[in-house]
Structures are given as structure tokens and as C-alpha cells.
Structure 1
Amino acid sequence: MLASLEWLKQYVDINISVAELCDKITRVGLEVDTVTQLGKGLEGVITGKVMEIHRHPDSDHLWVCMLDYGQGGEPVQILTGAQNVHQYDIVPVAVVGSVLPPSERNPQGLKLKKAKMRGLDSFGMLCSADELGIESKLLLPEQRNGIFILPENTPIGVDIKTVLGLDDTVIDIDLTSNRADCFSIIGLAREISAITGCPLKMPAMDVKEAAAGKASDYVNVKIDAPELCSRFATRVLKDIKIMPSPEWMQRRLRACGVRPISNVVDVTNYVMLELGQPMHAYDADKVAGHTLIVRRAEEGEKLVTLDGRERELTSAMITIGDAEKAAGLGGVMGGLLTEVTDETKNVILEAASFHGPSIRRTSRALGLRSEASGRFERGVDTIRDHDALNRAAHLLEQMGACETFSGIVEAYPEELKPAVITTTAAKINGRIGVNIAEDEMVAILSKLGFGVEAKDGELLITAPTWRRDIDCDADISEEIARMHGYDFIESHQPELTITQGSQSVLDDVKDDVQDYMVGAGLSEMMTYSFIKANAYDKMLLPADDARRNCIELLNPITDAFSVMRTTMVPSALQTASFNLRNHNSSVALFEIGRIFLPKALPLTEDPAERQLLTAVLSGSRKALNWCDDKGSVDFYDMKGIVEGLLEAMQVSDYTMTRSQQPYLHPGKSCDIVVNGEVIGSFGEVHPVVQENFELDQVTYVLEMAVEPLVASATAVPQYKHLPKFPSMSRDIAVVVPAEVTNAELEQVIRAHAGELLQGVRVFDIYTGKQVAAGCKSMAFNLTYQAADRTLTDAEVDASMKKVIAEVAEAYKAKLRD
């Protein structure tokens, strides 16, 4: 359980040091695992506003920014290579003298000095989230790369630790399975209140209920499996506005290890962390019949959960269904079909109490664990489901994000009663082995929220609803013993802190790329990060190519390893050449390695390091065999590997354009473009380069950046239903000028064929007697399909007519008979 100290202080005054607080918590049975200072190693970084930005006169990738960071005087000049910074952006600024913590880019940390980059001074650095020490998993994909852009209302000149909550302390408490009551901020604050004697302050839960009408008019709930769900309560929100949650909420969520997404999702997560009650939000307009039913899943029933995966359920699993279908997996994860999206207008909020053992078995069977399932497995406070709903509605109303219908709609088949235990002070003392006065026992239990009545020498104790683990006088004895102090009973065992190892998201993606390349039939090679200085000449790089700005080694091993590489192509070609010279006539190799890009020469700071994938193919497509094709690899073998890799990394929005790389054959090469950025190139090695590297047969090479794959590779896959209705296809053959490319024609076809077009494929290219000189015939197959009906010939014919007209107009194309 991760707990933000700043969040805890909102509900209980903590006037002791963190070390003393952790000691007191541990002594009462809540073992503190680790204490983390979020901003440790980060000093002097403040917020600044980009007043001006323009290109560096001597660089095609550097920007010159003029920063105002609230210190008075003229704006300060700072240079950056990031491409996501714009005028008037508010950004974290590390000024001269600032200290950055260790990060992926700067593993040893960094103290900022004045730098000179391509002849211009830079008096600081704009910081990314990684450089501020924020884990990428706690950020949206668009925040993980480039400079961390702050909200436009962020004040400037303020310590970034204050703005981003990095001045907070996070306490990681290792809870035992029976202490579900402490699996929340309020639960921990209640425990701290009992320890320190400071009063507990509960969060605001008042709801305006300004929407006209009653919630019961908009939603019905029912429990068909009361043995699996003791209570199911809902509130209905009207005219919801999906937007980012407030920065203070995002800070607290990140501190507790939860990635902010949107206000509705963030509020449900926030309330779960704050009150210990998991919640779920449904798009009310996607809930069939506006009815939610808690039932057992049908054997073999299918449900697509929010992570995009289709799950096959069993009758032992709890399902939340609407009038037509399964809408969620109770206590574990919601369903994709009723997910809250940017188009959502009305929301049903759910707070329920599910059977812990059933949730545990479901999670294990499906290999699906969540923050919600972990809490339900331990048990939640059934009596306080309304508090969670009211708190969530209150927070969203505060944001101006919705109006709330009056009332709570719920199913509560059997009201649960708190446990009542009868015992005596003598029995408790006998079990503990000490002599504690009855008055002290009553005081201890009262501070913990127990109801205590002393009568006729006995103690009649009512356990609070959040303490479901209390059901006998032995449990009462334990409560009194831990609060009285185990030190006064017997010595406790030493605290053992275990640190779990992990690797970065980028390393996970590298492992996936490596697995794919091996599966595609390539063998991994490992080369030095140093190359020979003349490698760039052999690659035919122009004199002004940025890759020629490489770092020279002061004491190289040999002349063959005299500079740090800025591209991995020479290493790949040199390895292929070595194999071919040693009678290995078929080469299929790859490597994931680093290149080193200096910001300025001579070096004034560590160079930027980028992870690249390189691959090289040459020779026979298959091992020599009498029954197999003896053909050699060609351009399309490499293209297939690239396309397969991009698909495996979930990159779908990419294009391939003719490459201008000087080391590649101008007619047999491509650049890979993702989101407008060229992330790699591949193709046949230029004949001159092939000769320069002593390659005695045609060779194909790939070089691609790995970092741009991270966002898509780590995204949750989204399920799409298979089509129910048949497709229709049409062929079209047009005669166009020879210089017109397939991509250009395909772009026109896709732009004007309409939303029914599902695919375009070129299946024939012809030049000959039947086609005029300087022209060629290109034949395309167009596939049409609708998700809700069978198409008619008239619909497809209308689209084809428009396509033919637009192609004719754009490229003077003529239909070929």
C-alpha cells in the first residue's frame, strides 16, 4: 500500500517526523517497507515559460528558446533538441547549478553547467519527465517523450517539486491479508489518529444533486447471486464532461503509483485509494435497458474487458450484466462495451461489495489482477458503499464536470450487522501476558473506532464495520496488545526490507523486438560501439551529414575502433562482409545497440544515446535443400520483416516512402515514417557502398530507432469485432504517367472512396504495347464492407465512380479497357 504523506496530512495532523511516524506504524503491526522522497536528487529546477523559439542557425534539430522563469530581467537563452516545445509552453527548467536525479538519459545524475551548442550558449536545460525522476508508467504515452509540458495555468518561477508534488514523501506499507481496513488513505489516517491522538478529519461527501429527476428513473439494479455480492449501489451523473483531472489529484495518484487518465477514471481511482472502496463507471447510454444485474456468468460466456482482451468466463465468476449482455467482470475489471469515452454524456457510478474468495479465484483463473480485485479479496466495508458514491460525485461536481441525479439506487438483500464480542479485562490480560487496566483497554478500543460498553465486569465490544477481521476476543486481545506496545511484551523481530528488481519499459520493448527478430529467423550479433573513422566515407555520407559529428576516442584500441558510432549501419555491413568472406554465403543478422550523438564537439557534456535496431540480409532465402526454392533474399524479405515487426509492436499508423539515404539503392529503399517522423530506413545497399564494404553479393540493411516504438508497444490492445456482413470487391485498372507511384494513387482512392472502403491492394503493374510510351497500367482491387448491413451494388458503384473521377482529375488517368 503506497501512501502519500501530503494526502494523509489532509485527514490527520502529523506533527512528528517521518522516521518517528514510520516507527510508530511498524510497532502497531503495519510494517513500513520503504520510504521514498519523490524529489530526491532534484534541486533547483523551476517552471519557466517559452517566450520565443526559433531554429538554431547551424543545426537542423536544435531549437533556441528564450525562457522567462520569473526571476526578473531579460529572458534566458536555452537550447534544446526536443521537437515538442512551442512558444508560450510552460516547462520545467534546469538552470545553471540545478541538480537532476539519475535517469535513463543521465544514469549518474547531472549538475547543470553553462554549455555551448553549435556556437551558441545555453544557460540551462528543458527537462523531460524521465529527467525529473517521474516513472514513464505513470504518464500518458504522449507525455513520455520529449519535454514535459505543464498546464498553461502553471505559475512560473516555482520549484518544480512543488508544482508536480515531488516534494512529497511516499510510505510503502506491507499489509497483512487481514488488515483490509488500512488499504486506503482514510484507513491509514484512522490508524495514525489512534496512534498519535490527533483527531481524524473525514473528506467532504456532500452532493448537490442538481440534475432534475431521480436516479431511480434512469437506472435499475438487481442482485441475482446474493452469495457473491452483498450490496450493489449506484449513482447517476448527467452531462458529464470528460477532461483531465485537476493537477492536485494527478499528483496524488502518481504518488500512489496510479497513472492519471481522465477525470472520471481518475476520480474512481482516487476514491478507491482514499476510502478503500473500488468503483466502476459505466457509460449509461451503453447499458442496455439502463439495468445492471449482478449474476453468475454463463458457462463459456465471452466478455471483452477494458484491456481489450476477450475472456471466456465460467459460472463461478461474478458478472455485471445489462438487459442484453455482460457489461463487466465484477470486482476485477469492467467491460469494453460500456467503457466511458470522450463521447460519454451520462455515467452510472457503481460501488459494490463482492465475495473475496470468488474474486481471488477469478483473478487467478484469468491471470488478471487489478487494484480493485486486491481490495475485494481482502474485503471492503459494505456499510460504507454510499460514502464512496457521494465522495466521487462530490469531486466531479467540484470540477464542474457533471450534475447528479438525486438518490442512490441499490440492491441490498440482507443488511450486514457488525460483530459484537463479549470478553473481560482479565481474559485479555491473561492472553497477552501483561497487566493492563480496563480503562486503558476501553480508551485504546475507542480510539480505534470500536464501541465499548463495560457492564457487570464484562466488556461488550462492537467492532466497526471496516474491521471485518474482528470476530472473537482473541482479535480484541491483539488490538489491545499492539496499541499498548509489543515492546512492553517481548522483543520484536528485526525489520527486513526487500527491494524488488525491475527494468525500464524501453528494456521490455527491446526484449520484445529481440524475440520477434529471432522468431523471424535472424541471429543476433554483438558489435563494438566504436567504428573506423572512414566508415562514413564508405557509406557515401555527404560532408555536412550530422552523423559525421562523432566522438573521437583519446586512446582507441586500434585504428579500426577510433570513433564512437553515430549509426549502426557500418557495424552491420562489416559483420556481413566478414561472414561472406568466410564462406557463410547466407547472412541474416540483427542487433539492438546504442549510438552516441554529441550535442557539441569537443564534448562539454555526455552525448545523447539512442537505441537502434539494425539488421542485414544477404544470400539464399533458405538453407540449401533439394526440395526447396533456391532463390536469394530480396527487398521484399526485408520489407516483410519490417512490416511484421511494426505489427508486433502495434504500430499501425505508418507509411513507407522512397528513401534518400546515400548508402541505399535509390530505387530499392524505403524510409519508415511514424507520426510524421522518419524512424528508420531499409533497402538494398548502394552498389558503390557494397563494393566499399567488400560485399560480393547483393545485401539488404535496416536501421530503425527503438524508442518511438515504446508508446505503441506498451499500449493496451483494443479488440474489434469480426465483421458479420459480407464484403464486396471491385477491380480498377488505370493508365497513368510512369512516374506516378502506387502510394500516390492509393492515397487518392482512400481519400474519396468513402467510409465503406476497407482495403486497397495493387495486383498488377504493366508496361507494353497496349500502353502509351511514358505511361504504365496499374490495377487495384478495392474491398468494401459495412458493419451493419450487406452492401448493395449501387452503393459500391457510386463509390467507384467517384474514385475513377478523382484519379482521372489528379493524375490524368484513363481507364484501361
Structure 2
Amino acid sequence: MQVSIKWLKDYIDFKETPEQIADKLTMAGVPVENIKDMGAGLEKVITGKIVQIEKHPNADKLSICTLDVGQAETIIIVTGATNVREGQIVPVAMIGAKLPNGLKISKGKLRGVASFGMLCSAAELNLDLDSLSDDAKSGIYILPKDTSVGIQVKDVLGLNDVILEFELTANRADCFSVLGIVREIAVLTGNSVKKPMLRLQEDGDKKANELISVKIEANNLCSRFSARVLQNVKVGKSPAWIKERIEAAGVRSINNVVDVTNFVMLEFGQPMHAYDYDMLAGHVLIARQANQGEKLTTLDNVKRELNPSMLVIADSVQPAGLGGVMGGLASEVTESTKTVVLEAAVFNGANIRRTARACGLHSEASGRFERGVDVINTVKALDRAAQLLEEMGACTVCPEIVDAYPGFELPSQVKFTSTQVNKHLGTTISSQVMVDILKRLEFEISSVKGEEITVTVPSWRNDVRCMSDIAEEISRIYGFNRIASTLPDGSMMQGGQSEEQSFVDRVKDILVAAGMNEIISFSFTHPQTFDKLNIPVDSQLRQAVEIMNPITDEFPLLRTTAVSSVLETIARNLSRKNEDLKIFEIGSVFTPKALPLTELPIEKLMLCGALTGKRTDIAWNQGKDTVDFYDAKGVIEVLFERLGIQKYTVQAGEHYAMHPGKTALFMKGKEIIAYVGEVHPQVQAQMNITKKTYLFEMDIEKLMKYSALTCRYQSLPKYPAMSRDLALVVADDITASEVEKMIVKNAGKLLNNICLFDVYMGEQVGKGQKSLAFSLQFQSAEKTLTDAEIDPYFESIIKALEEAFNAKLRS
């Protein structure tokens, strides 16, 4: 935001220089980013009248101009401009001038004729070319005929001003207006404010409510909606003083009606919009949500498709404007407009921010609505705009205002004591000083009971809600430089990690050692991601928390699964030809207990990883195999081994994002502790993943539950182990894990290790059969085992397998 010093002085007198005012505001928490002198470089540019023009004797394209510049003698300037005429008033750069474009003016000779300055064009004066006519853009800039001679050009052009450019924080919505800045200056300088007087001549032949009606259908998106009607409107140019004020604030002048709405927006901080009354069907304005697929051509002549998340201002047939962002082209005020409806409203800031981002339309109005506007100001703003246009003779004002304000907002109150504030700030400010500061800030002192003070917060300060906010207000006006610097006081604690944090670090170390790379992504997602991941319609994972102020339109929700983030990372890397990936992320997912939220959602840490591409780096002595299901399964097995998770089983299962026939579940009893599998082909296509990818997902809390955080050591075995191989033929629907479980159950305590080393299906074992070959290792810590000691266990295993699975030994 930027404000001119001249505009500020319309409402408050102060003797401080712009630099001093900027310093005071910055130190009070209203930071001034830059100070810009609009007339910089024009100090020696004055007005001159062309008395005589002669042709140059030695050059056909040059002219010799004799000028009266208000001095005792005329001066001679040689120019090549073709648009100059005798009697014109023009800007003259005198000798010694240094123009805004860096050009230095000195005495010179052009083809033998001395020249004592230069006639200036609009570009050389650093004027805004977009606001000028084509004639004014080219050649010498011609000033009005009644311009005095010999005065500073910057006085004539309204450039004798200084602009303060603010870099305001989002919480100070009250300072996004000239009067808001004036209030701050008044507090800091002790001067009084001269607020504009609102005196209206309402001479219209009909009351406003007889001509227009307003309705609020989207109560959650619009809290107040007000309108005035202006008759006998004469659309034309704005007075010079209004044009100067808004252009100094960076807003382009259009016509008197639009300029007044912009002027009042900058003055009060209340955005407004003007509609051509005759272009509103049914003569009604309705604040409602857009219909799906509804279209609106905005003032920038772009046709936009809307959706129900957006607020529109509509007539009885179609949208007339995109609420809080930009008006519609169909109801634009033009030179043929005779009756105007002025509208001022208060909209939901988060919704306006999302709409502006979705449409790529950020305006002065949307920026103010996003930060919050004063609900009291709608009527004041309408009165001010109507008054300005009526004083110009540009309209007749209809009596009364049409105002829809269904939920009247009471001013908030804050209770505090001086002791609380001083303890918070580390100061010894008296309660009387605190009260004086708050009164200067226009806080109303509602009551003082002993030490307790109750203040009513002004309607424009929606950022003040508690004692800490009051302390901030007192400290910034009292002066941060007056508060002594002290060391923090209090009991000190040694920092450390929680058990969960230490466990997560351990998991990360194990996965990195297994060849994985950690990624970190946003904990946000988009509703379309649920469909891309094949998440069932009735799944709890679709109940996501909506973010009030998303960082982009791509991330409006808190994520309920980490799978989306990992697969999006895979897709992004594959699109950039980074095709060999082994990644994992440990991050939070958020599950609400109910929507809309009444309490904080449940936050869980999830581990999710994915593998795709080649198994090893390309090298002459390495194979070119790609990763498969068993690489992903192996990562989990390594992790479980290092975490001390034992006695788990692996079985076929299902996961919403994984191939139904290529998904395994790691189980502890009846509880699933890990999923692993190939990404479902449909999910792969919907996520734009072009290679087979393998995925795993785990809950960190469950891993902690079953991990052995302390290790138990034992001495290495003194006696050799004995190995036996067992090849079985079983039905192909019997899983290896079922067979392995039966072997362990009947192998006795001497079984040290079991390993499946071969699986065969083919003609040699018959249709519907398969061969499983296991290596069994027996070992004793007390002696060397003999065949005779192992044989009973081996026979018991074979008998149990025959009975349970009708298994046969393969010869």
C-alpha cells in the first residue's frame, strides 16, 4: 500500500518531515518500506511560454524557440519536436537540471545555434504514459493554456508530493486505508484528526428501497450488504484533486464514478462497486454462491467459469460481479449510464482469498477483504461516495440506504490489569499511562474495577482479542526503545528429544542405510487426490480438514494419507527423467473426529516409501534388473530386523492404492503393522507415473509398540549347526507362510533358522500344484547335534505337513 503526504495532510496537520513520519510509524509497528519523491529530478524544470518559433538556418528538422520562462529575459532553445506552436505553455528543463531519466541539461550548440535548455516530453517527466492520450505521449508535453509561466512543473502536474510505501503485516487491516494511517500519526504526533464531514443532499424523487433490493443468501460468506442509488448520473472526468490522490496511491483514473469508489476504498479501507442500474435484471442484488459451471465476464474482459465455492453478486438472472474481487462487464458503468447502484459489503476473507487465487485475479479490493474490513464502514463509505459525486454535480442522491445486516456484531471487550501487562512486557508502566495510550488509540475504557481494566475494542481492530494484544498496543506506542533489554528470567530445562523423536531418527538411519533417500513434502493435499488414489467414497480418509488460508489452490486440505505425497514425488521426478528412485517420508497425517471441526484433529506419524527403476546404479559389473515387489518387502524386513520386531507373519491382503493381487500385509497377531505392494495400475495412470512402482506404508506408533528398543546380547555359538533341506509339493493356493508356520510349530526348540530358497510351478509337479523348498538349520548351544537327534523333529514336521496340507515330499 502507498499513501501520499498531501493526502495525509488533508486530515491531519504535522510538522515532521516524511522521513520522520516514516520512522515514527515504523517504530510503532506500521513499517514504511520506501519513501518516494514524486517530483524527484524536476527541481529545475519550470513552465515556459513559446513566444516565437523560427526555422533553423542550418537544419531542416530543427526549430529555434524563444521562450518566456518568467525571468527578466527570454531564452533560446533549439528543438526537433514537430508539435510545438507559438503561444503554447510547455515544460522547460533549465541548465543544470538532472531529469528523472538521468539526463543532465547543459548549455549546448545545435548546428551553430546556442541552446539554453530543453523542452520536455511526458516520458522525460516520468509521467504515467498509460493514463495519457496518444497525442500527449508523443512529442513535447503541452500544458493547459491557463498555466502560469515560470513556476515549478511538478506543482502544475501534481508531482509536488512524497509517497510513503508501506509493507504492512496481514493483521493490521486497519492500516490499509488513509484514515487508518492518519489515526496512527495522530497517536504518534499528538495532533488531532480532521475527519471528512458526511453531509448529504438526498434530492432523488424515489427512495432507494423503491428502486433496488439486496439479499444475502450465503450468510457464511457475506455478513453485511448495503447499497445506495444515484440518479441523473453524469459520467465524465474526475476533478484533478481526486485524480492526483488515487494515482499517487497507484490506482489508475477511469471516470468520476469509478474514481470515487476507488477514492473511498483508499480513504476508508472499504471496497465498493458501482453497477449500471438499468443493466441489473429485476433491479435486485443477491450475495450468493455461484452455480456449478456458471460463467461471468469480468471487467478485464475475461470469461470465467465459476464454481459453488465462489461468492457472486447476482441480479435475478445471472452474476453481475465476482464478490470482493472484480465486477462484471455487463453491468459496467459507462458514459451512457444514467442511474448507478453503489454497493459496499463485508465478505469472508478466506473465501475471497481462495477465489482470487483460483481466478488469478488479485485486486486492491480483494487484498482488503482478505485481511478483513470494518463492518461498520459500509454505510459511511456509501454516504461518502454519494456526497463526493453529488458535490461534483454528477448525480442526484436517492433518500435512504438499503442495508442487509442479519447478524449484528457486538464490539469485543478485553479485560486486563497493569500488573499482567507489565509482567508480560518486563516494564513498570503505570495504569494511567496505559489508559491514556488506549484512549489515544480510540479504545473505549468500559470500566475500571480496582486493578482490572475493561476496554471495548474499536470495530476496525479485529486483531485485538486478548491481554497480549493489549500489551502489544501499549508497548508499540509507549516505545520499544524505552523498554529496557533484559535476559530471560525463569527456570531452565535441558533440551532433549522425546522417545518418539528418537525412534523416528533410528528408523530414518535404518532406511538410509538400506539405500533409501528421505523426502520432505507439504502436509497438504487436494480433493482430487482421493479419486486418483482409488480411496473408497465412504472411507474416513476422505474426511479431510479444510485449510482456511491455503498456501496455494493446489493444497486446500490437510492430508489424511502420506501415500499421495510420495507418489506425487515419484511422478515429479519421472517427468524430469530421474527414473531410479528409492524414497521414503515420515510425516504427519490428520484425521478429524468430526466435521466441521469442534476440536483438534488426530495427528499421526506415518512412514511411507516407494521404489521404482533400476535395482543398482549403472556400471559394467552390475546387472540392469529393475526393482520388484521383493525389494520393497526386503526394505520392511530389514527395518523390522533392526528394530527388533519379531514373530510377525506376512499374508496376502488389500490396500486402496495397491495392486489387489500383489499386496502383502505384515501382521502381529490380528493387527496390521505394514502394507507393501505394487502400485495399482489405475492409480499409477491417474498419478502420471510411467514405470512400475512399489509402495510400502506403516504407522510409526505401531512400529514403536512392537519394537525392541533395548538389545539383548548372547555369545556366539560354540557348536556347529546342522542343515536339512525339505522340498514339498502342495496345492498352489497354499501360501509359503502357512507352510513355514507349521514347520516352526513342529520343529522343536533346536530349529535356529528357516529359509524358503526355491519355488517351482510347472509340468514336473502337475497342474494346480507347486514345489516349495526350505532350508532348515538346527543348532544347540550345549553340544554338537547328531542326525539321530534331529530325525524325530524332521519326521514330525513331515507328518504335520502331510496332515495339514496333504503335502508330499518331492524326490
Regarding TM over 0.5, the answer is: yes
Matches within 5 A, 1:516-555: none
Alignment partner for residue 473 of structure 2, among 479, 496, 499? Answer: 479
Q: 2:47: which partner in 1?
A: 47
Cα deviation, residue 359, structure 1: 0.6
Q: 1:655: which partner in 2?
A: none
Q: Does the CA contact (< 8 Å) of 2:291 and 2:307 recur in 1?
A: yes
- The 2-side partners of 1:233 and 1:56 are apart by 65
Q: 2:294: which partner in 1?
A: 301
Q: 1:17: which partner in 2?
A: 17
Q: Does the CA contact (< 8 Å) of 1:238 and 1:405 recur in 2?
A: yes
Q: 2:198: which partner in 1?
A: 205
Q: Which has the higher contact order (CA 8 A, sep 6+)?
A: 1
Amino acid at match of 1:101: L
- The 2-side partners of 1:419 and 1:22 are apart by 31
Aligned residues: 485
| Residue 447 (structure 2) pairs with residue 449 (structure 1) | no
Q: Deviations over 1:576-621 (max 9, x none)?
A: xxxxxxxxxxxxxxxxxxxxxxxxxxxxxxxxxxxxxxxxxxxxxx
1:50/1:245 CA distance change after superposition, 3 Å: farther
Amino acid at match of 2:227: T
Partner SS for 2:423: helix
- How many percent of aligned residue pairs carry the same amino acid? 49
- The 2-side partners of 1:158 and 1:22 are apart by 29
Q: Deviations over 1:240-264 (max 9, x none)?
A: 2222212222222222222222222
- The 2-side partners of 1:83 and 1:295 are apart by 57
Q: Does the CA contact (< 8 Å) of 1:39 and 1:133 recur in 2?
A: no
- The 2-side partners of 1:153 and 1:197 are apart by 41
- The 2-side partners of 1:60 and 1:223 are apart by 70
- The 2-side partners of 1:52 and 1:332 are apart by 53
Q: 2:577: which partner in 1?
A: none
Q: Which runs of 5+ in 1 are unaligned?
A: 493-817
| Residue 104 (structure 2) pairs with residue 110 (structure 1) | yes
Partner SS for 2:242: helix
- The 2-side partners of 1:437 and 1:26 are apart by 25
Q: 1:257: which partner in 2?
A: 250
| Residue 411 (structure 2) pairs with residue 418 (structure 1) | yes
Alignment partner for residue 483 of structure 2, among 489, 503, 506? Answer: 489
* Two-structure CA RMSD over aligned residues (Å): 2.5
Matches within 5 A, 1:60-79: 62=62, 65=65, 67-71=67-71, 78-79=77-78
Amino acid at match of 2:95: G
1:304/1:97 CA distance change after superposition, 3 Å: same
Partner SS for 1:273: helix
Amino acid at match of 2:472: E
Q: Does the CA contact (< 8 Å) of 1:241 and 1:345 recur in 2?
A: yes
- The 2-side partners of 1:281 and 1:82 are apart by 42
| Residue 280 (structure 2) pairs with residue 287 (structure 1) | yes
Partner SS for 2:406: coil
- The 1-side partners of 2:55 and 2:263 are apart by 42
TM-score, length-normalised on structure 2?
0.57
- The 1-side partners of 2:59 and 2:317 are apart by 61
Q: 2:235: which partner in 1?
A: 242
Q: Which runs of 5+ in 2 are unaligned?
A: 487-811
Q: Does the CA contact (< 8 Å) of 1:127 and 1:148 recur in 2?
A: yes
Q: 2:97: which partner in 1?
A: 99
Q: Deviations over 1:392-430 (max 9, x none)?
A: 122222222222122212221222221111222211111
Alignment partner for residue 223 of structure 2, among 210, 215, 230? Answer: 230
Q: Does the CA contact (< 8 Å) of 1:101 and 1:110 recur in 2?
A: yes
Matches within 5 A, 1:231-380: 231-380=224-373
Partner SS for 1:338: coil
Cα deviation, residue 18, structure 1: 2.5
Cα deviation, residue 441, structure 1: 0.7
1:213/1:357 CA distance change after superposition, 3 Å: same
- The 2-side partners of 1:222 and 1:82 are apart by 59
1:238/1:436 CA distance change after superposition, 3 Å: same
1:45/1:328 CA distance change after superposition, 3 Å: same
Q: Does the CA contact (< 8 Å) of 2:268 and 2:377 recur in 1?
A: no
1:418/1:80 CA distance change after superposition, 3 Å: farther
Amino acid at match of 2:13: D
Q: Deviations over 1:633-674 (max 9, x none)?
A: xxxxxxxxxxxxxxxxxxxxxxxxxxxxxxxxxxxxxxxxxx
Partner SS for 1:479: helix
Q: Does the CA contact (< 8 Å) of 1:204 and 1:394 recur in 2?
A: no
Q: Does the CA contact (< 8 Å) of 2:40 and 2:100 recur in 1?
A: no
Amino acid at match of 2:237: P
- The 1-side partners of 2:86 and 2:383 are apart by 42
- The 2-side partners of 1:293 and 1:63 are apart by 63
1:67/1:250 CA distance change after superposition, 3 Å: farther
- The 1-side partners of 2:283 and 2:147 are apart by 41
1:127/1:239 CA distance change after superposition, 3 Å: farther
1:228/1:196 CA distance change after superposition, 3 Å: same
Q: After superposing the two structures, state which structure 1 stretch, 42-51 or 376-385, moved more.
A: 42-51
Q: 1:2: which partner in 2?
A: 2
Q: Does the CA contact (< 8 Å) of 1:69 and 1:156 recur in 2?
A: yes
Q: 1:409: which partner in 2?
A: 402
Amino acid at match of 1:216: N
Q: Deviations over 1:484-528 (max 9, x none)?
A: 111133569xxxxxxxxxxxxxxxxxxxxxxxxxxxxxxxxxxxx
1:254/1:140 CA distance change after superposition, 3 Å: farther
Q: 1:30: which partner in 2?
A: 30
Cα deviation, residue 73, structure 1: 6.2
Matches within 5 A, 1:130-169: 130-136=123-129, 139=132, 143-169=136-162
Q: Does the CA contact (< 8 Å) of 1:327 and 1:335 recur in 2?
A: yes
Matches within 5 A, 1:640-659: none
Cα deviation, residue 209, structure 1: 1.9
- The 2-side partners of 1:11 and 1:178 are apart by 24
Q: 1:495: which partner in 2?
A: none
- The 2-side partners of 1:81 and 1:316 are apart by 59
1:453/1:228 CA distance change after superposition, 3 Å: same
Cα deviation, residue 328, structure 1: 0.7
Q: Does the CA contact (< 8 Å) of 2:105 and 2:118 recur in 1?
A: no
Cα deviation, residue 167, structure 1: 2.1
1:46/1:205 CA distance change after superposition, 3 Å: farther
Cα deviation, residue 169, structure 1: 1.2
- The 2-side partners of 1:235 and 1:50 are apart by 49
- The 2-side partners of 1:254 and 1:491 are apart by 43
Partner SS for 1:252: helix
Q: Does the CA contact (< 8 Å) of 2:107 and 2:114 recur in 1?
A: no
Cα deviation, residue 78, structure 1: 4.1
Partner SS for 2:187: helix
- The 1-side partners of 2:374 and 2:468 are apart by 21
- The 2-side partners of 1:340 and 1:87 are apart by 40
1:63/1:273 CA distance change after superposition, 3 Å: farther
